[in-house]
Amino acid sequence: MFTLPKLNYEFAALEPHIDARTMEIHYTKHHQGYTDKLNAAIEGSSLAEKTIEEILAKVSEESTAVRNNGGGFYNHSLFWSIMSSQGGGEPTGALADAITQSFGSFEEFKTQFSTAAATQFGSGWAWLVVHEGELSVGSTPNQDNPLMDITGLDGSPILGLDVWEHAYYLNYQNRRPDYILSFWNVVDWEEVARRFEAAA
Ligand code: MN
């Protein structure tokens, strides 16, 4: 059975970019809800013995409840981990080199990622993924993610941005582009680099 991962910072830690009330509701209600519903969906089945990565890799064979809640469980766990009150700035080292190689520059990467986040119609996520050594950006609807065998975006996600309205509406209302712009101030590039090295 899956448990809600511990949050490594206070709900107010990411202010003013992400407000405490949004963090609290997002973590204690939305993420907890996905976790509980995932557990309910896999209880008593062979999936209860698998890792979340194993479940997502063959999610095309599973129910909509496993797809939506398994994605929701995984995506939010990643999302909290790649943000920090000490975030922002730019990556360094191998990740910085790979971004420059794949996108031309860090600024061009930010533009492409922000565009993917802004243009995802309705609810979903924007991603930076590593696939066969190459970096790429894209988006997925609902709680789908690049580990699933049902999306057009394949690879290991190392950075993700939740663009569901529940992620920003209290503070930004309909202004998703402002939320996306603020997100760059809290990205924990050390954690993204750690995930990059683990995936590469
Ligand atoms: Mn969310």
Q: What is the pLDDT of residue 200?
A: 81
145 CA to middle of ligand 1, Å? 13
167 CA to middle of ligand 1, Å? 5
Q: What's the pTM value of the predicted model, to 2 decimals? A: 0.97
161 CA to middle of ligand 1, Å? 9
17 CA to middle of ligand 1, Å? 16
179 CA to middle of ligand 1, Å? 13
165 CA to middle of ligand 1, Å? 8
104 CA to middle of ligand 1, Å? 30
76 CA to middle of ligand 1, Å? 6
C-alpha distances in angstroms, 179 versus 58, 114, 127, 185? 33, 10, 16, 10
Q: What is the pLDDT of residue 95?
A: 97
168 CA to middle of ligand 1, Å? 9
3 CA to middle of ligand 1, Å? 16
143 CA to middle of ligand 1, Å? 8
Selection from 181, 166, 17 nearest residue 85 by Cα: 17
Q: Which two tokens stand for residue 131?
A: 């696939």
Q: What is the pLDDT of residues 93-122, one digit of tens each?
A: 999 999 999 999 999 999 999 999 999 999
Asked whether the beta carbons of 133 and 199 are under 8 A apart, the reply is no
Q: What is the pLDDT of residues 10-32, one digit of tens each?
A: 999 999 999 999 999 999 999 99
5 prior amide bond cis, ω within 30: no
Distance of alpha carbon 184 from the chain centroid: 14
133 pLDDT more than 90: no
Please state, in angstroms and rounded to a whole number, the distance separating the CA atoms of residues 35 and 52. 11
pLDDT above 70 covers a percentage of the chain that reads 100
Q: What is the pLDDT of residues 48-90, one digit of tens each?
A: 999 999 999 999 999 999 999 999 999 999 999 999 999 999 9
